[in-house]
């Protein structure tokens, strides 16, 4: 896979992960716990896809093959780290929301 295509795939998978995580949050707010769990699994899978591409860059670097660092590459890394952070925070919010929902019943 060429460099720009790999970078764009990190951005796409990271964006998908964020979208799935927010979908999970909306579903849990509606009481759809199964839907929320499925959406979080989808978020985890999308993060995994992006992380696999990132790892391939790290492995190449460790083997002595330098990667050209561009603004787009930095942008992709930013998207990935933001998606991971938001997914982790949403996971905690979902747990809180489930607890609040149980108290409201």
Q: State the Cα torsion 90-94-95-99 to the nearest 10°.
A: 150
Catalytic residue among 13, 26, 75, 79: 75
* 105: DSSP letter: -
Known active-site residue 75:
yes
Chain centroid offset of residue 86 CA: 8
- In the structure encoding, which two tokens stand for residue 7, read together? 């970078």
User: Which residues form the catalytic set?
Assistant: 75
């Amino acid at each position: 896979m060429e460099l720009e295509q790999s970078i764009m795939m990190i951005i796409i998978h990271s964006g998908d992960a964020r979208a799935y995580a927010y979908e999970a949050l909306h579903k849990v707010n509606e009481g759809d716990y199964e839907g929320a769990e499925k959406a979080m699994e989808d978020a985890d899978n999308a993060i995994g896809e992006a992380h696999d591409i990132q790892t391939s860059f790290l492995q190449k670097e460790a083997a002595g093959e330098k990667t050209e660092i561009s603004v787009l590459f930095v942008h992709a890394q930013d998207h990935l780290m933001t998606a991971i952070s938001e997914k982790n925070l949403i996971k905690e919010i979902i747990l809180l929301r489930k607890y609040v929902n149980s108290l409201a019943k």
